[in-house]
Amino acid sequence: MANPSRLPALDAGATVLHALLDPDQGEFPEADLADPKRCPVSAYARMLVRSALDSDPGLLAAARAPSSITIIEVPSADLIDPVGEAWRAEVMASDAVPDCGDDTGAAVGPWLEFRRESGARPSKLDTSRVAEALAAGKPVFAFSDAPNRVFPDDLLRAADRRLILQPLNGPSLVAALMLHHGAPITRIPDDGDARLVRPGDLLLARRPDADPDEHLRRALALASGRNAATGSAVLLEDLHGMDQAVRWGLDLREDLAAFAAGQIGWSEVDRGALLAGPTGTGKTTFARALAATCGVPLIIGSLAAWQASGTGHLGDMLKAMRTTFDEARRAAPCILFLDEVDGIGNRATFGREHRAYFVQVLNALLELLDGIQSREGVVVVAATNRLEAIDPALLRPGRLDRVIEIQLPDANALAGILRHHLGGDLAEVDTRWLAHAASGASGAHVERWVRGMRRRARKARRPPTAKDLEAEMTDGHLPVSTGVRHRICIHEGGHAVVIGRNRPGALASVSVPRSSNAQGPMGVVASRDSPLGLNGDRHVTRSVIVSAIAERLAGRVAEWLLLGDVSAGAGGRESSDLAEATWIATAAVASFGLGMPGNHAPLWRGLPTIEEVPSLLAADPGLVDQVARLMAEGHAEAASVLEDNQAALERIASLLLERSTLSGSEVEALLAGPEGNAP
């Protein structure tokens, strides 16, 4: 912490500027950093304090009152020292040297002052030191970007006043630059754009020969370039295949508008949501469209970006995480998008080697989500490809308490996605037949195909054609023989029948493409909700576990029932049917005590990841026995359901062979008819 007895001190933003200067060319004069006419960050801090004084007529007298304690929360760590200096000039109107709380010995200044960054360890202030200052009639000031985290509870409870300085709005930012330049500015930016400007932006945007308008333009450009653009043409209404997410987003737009108008409180707005779904289903696209539709900034953070900051040390990582949340608070109202949040992991599955690191990362994220530092106006939207890897604590009320599943798009959604990306190209082409041919693809695949189509057309110096698009869609794919494709249709039809019978309304679609990439799935069954919640759902029973296993083994069982033999298509990778079924059974036994019924004593061994299952089974024959029993029960249930609905299964497989895709409602209609042997 900077010592006020040696002020003016370098603030964090100015340190950045010093690092950019060539030491051989001389340094920016230290004395200039306390002068708003020479340092724009000092001007910014002055306007922060003046705005607070203007909005609260009683603040000046209260802050100067003898034996008073005032806590001042600043928008970011790089403003702690500048605000401290602005407070000294604007509130105390004094050049006197305050007593710095970090020094030892008797109090020597006219007031006692503490400054702490959020990344610092919680301080243990000497109570007698504070009491001595109060007894002498001296006011006490404490500056921080996270007072609740770094100052002791006793000081916070004893405070007479808590002041939260908000980022400058448009007029105040203009006033700060006018104070710095001593010249007028011809435009006032929107409040949302102004609140995104950081002190460092003001430093890096300054040019010796630039007027204040140019300084403002450069600062706004730096801020908007750092934050994810929300001026995209994609809005929620443009998205296809994610109806649940779009409905939630449109409701959020109304709530944020009502909150901004003062019609509802922040407690009435959904403050967090988790988007769960396979790679390429458009979770990031949804976040961008959500921000654009709501008309608010989008701030993006991720575990990878936080770990890449600094040295990757835990302290640097946590500081980067807090910086992202600080940025979102400054930009509020806004959407804060946290990508790949499953990378933090689940405490139940942390290994010994890195457990201490990731426990602290998870705890820090929980603290930021809980809003110990207010995050009013910040809606946190996180994304994961693996819902089972999310720690249950992240899903508790007030955090990411709304889980929205996004599945691969069905044929109708794919047709809409194709038309959106095609824009004015191929206007005469009906995209529905192309969408059926692309069953099992994601929105990311569609975007790549359209990009490749246009590239082919540019090389040929002609407009794009449907053949260009078809060529991109089949690039790297091989046609599947009729015999193999018939088996795949039976396999996927088996999954669809068991889902349709066990969970009516859950099946979204079943697709079998006419061509296949060796690295991708040869068939896709999409369901609208999760068959079970192995991530803290206490209502999961043993019968639910068995049914979930049955859904995954149903394809293999259908092959046996109709063809008298099975293929290796259900096994292989960690994403295969057999792997997922085995993981569900292993987790049920090892973590939830749902193995053999009766008098068998259950044990808790932690919630394993799917990658850990083989080693767990290899080390414990008893566990293998219980897992095998559950797998056998799931196999028997799948066989029973498919035998009872064999006629419908055959019809579904035949239609898939002919049409490639069936909707969930079409499958359920077949199950409900005579062919389904429905009761």
What's the mean per-residue pLDDT of the chain?
Answer: 81
In the structure encoding, which two tokens stand for residue 244, read together? 């649940």
Of all residues in the chain, the percent with pLDDT exceeding 70 is 84
Average pLDDT over residues 299-319: 84
Query: Could you list the active site residues?
Result: 492
Average pLDDT over residues 239-259: 89
Does residue 585 carry a pLDDT above 70? yes
- pLDDT at position 460 is 92
Average pLDDT over residues 65-75: 92
CA distance 164 to 49: 10
| Three-state DSSP class for residue 312 | coil
Kindly indicate the confidence band of residue 175, based on its pLDDT and cuts at 50, 70 and 90: very high
Q: Are 400 and 274 in contact (CB under 8 A)?
A: yes
- pLDDT at position 459 is 92
CA distance 457 to 455: 5
Per-position DSSP letters for 529-564, written without gaps between them:
S-S--TTT-TT--HHHHHHHHHHHHHHHHHHHHHHS
Angle subtended by helix axes 621-644 and 577-590, to nearest 10: 120
Kindly indicate the confidence band of residue 13, based on its pLDDT and cuts at 50, 70 and 90: very low
CA distance 528 to 532: 12
Of all residues in the chain, the percent with pLDDT exceeding 90 is 30
- Give the chain's radius of gyration (CA, Å): 31
Backbone angle region of 456, left / alpha / beta, with phi > 0 → left and psi within -120 to 50 → alpha = alpha
Does residue 461 carry a pLDDT above 90? yes
At a CB cut-off of 8 Å and minimum separation 6, what does 344 contact?
303, 358, 361, 362, 365, 391
- pLDDT at position 388 is 79
Kindly indicate the confidence band of residue 592, based on its pLDDT and cuts at 50, 70 and 90: confident
- pLDDT at position 528 is 64
In the structure encoding, which two tokens stand for residue 3, read together? 């010592």
Does residue 32 carry a pLDDT above 80? no
In the structure encoding, which two tokens stand for residue 531, read together? 């068959």
E strand segments, 408-555: 478-479, 507-511, 515-516, 524-527
- More confident: 445 or 83: 83
Does residue 356 carry a pLDDT above 90? no
Kindly indicate the confidence band of residue 210, based on its pLDDT and cuts at 50, 70 and 90: confident
Q: Are 303 and 337 in contact (CB under 8 A)?
A: no
- pLDDT at position 532 is 52
- More confident: 239 or 15: 239
Element (H, E) at 127: helix 127-135
- pLDDT at position 645 is 95
What are 113-167's pLDDT values in tens digits? Answer: 999 887 666 666 777 888 989 999 999 999 988 787 788 888 888 999 999 888 8
- pLDDT at position 627 is 93
- pLDDT at position 598 is 59
**Mean pLDDT: which of 29-38, 173-182, 353-362, 432-441 is highest?**
173-182
In the structure encoding, which two tokens stand for residue 657, read together? 């062979």
Weakest-pLDDT range from 292-296, 314-318, 571-575: 571-575
What are 471-495's pLDDT values in tens digits? Answer: 887 765 555 667 788 999 999 999 9
Does residue 515 carry a pLDDT above 70? no
CA distance 75 to 331: 10
Does residue 675 carry a pLDDT above 80? no
- More confident: 678 or 77: 77
HEC assignment per residue over 176-195 = HHHHHHCCCCCCCCCHHHHH
Weakest-pLDDT range from 250-264, 389-403, 432-446, 645-659: 432-446
Among candidates 302, 370, 295, 297, which has minimal Cα distance to 335?
297
Q: Are 366 and 380 in contact (CB under 8 A)?
A: no
- pLDDT at position 378 is 92
| Three-state DSSP class for residue 473 | helix
- pLDDT at position 40 is 92
User: Could you give phi then psi for residue 186, rounded to 5 degrees?
Assistant: -90, -10
**Mean pLDDT: which of 210-214, 601-605, 648-652 is highest?**
648-652
Bond prior to 333 in cis (omega within 30° of 0): yes
- Tell me the C-alpha to C-alpha distance, in Å, between residue 273 and each of 326, 366, 384: 19, 14, 11
- pLDDT at position 629 is 92
| Three-state DSSP class for residue 20 | helix
Looking at the DSSP assignment, which residues form a beta bridge with residue 585? none
Residue 126 is given by DSSP the state -
Weakest-pLDDT range from 249-253, 533-537, 640-644: 533-537
- Tell me the C-alpha to C-alpha distance, in Å, between residue 541 and each of 473, 531, 537, 586, 636: 43, 12, 10, 14, 18
Q: What share of the chain is helix, strand, coil (3-state, %, to 5)?
A: 55, 10, 35
**Mean pLDDT: which of 66-70, 201-205, 276-280, 572-576 is highest?**
66-70
- With 0-12 CB in 10 A as exposed, 13-18 as middle and 19+ as buried, what is 104? exposed
- pLDDT at position 538 is 56
- pLDDT at position 6 is 26
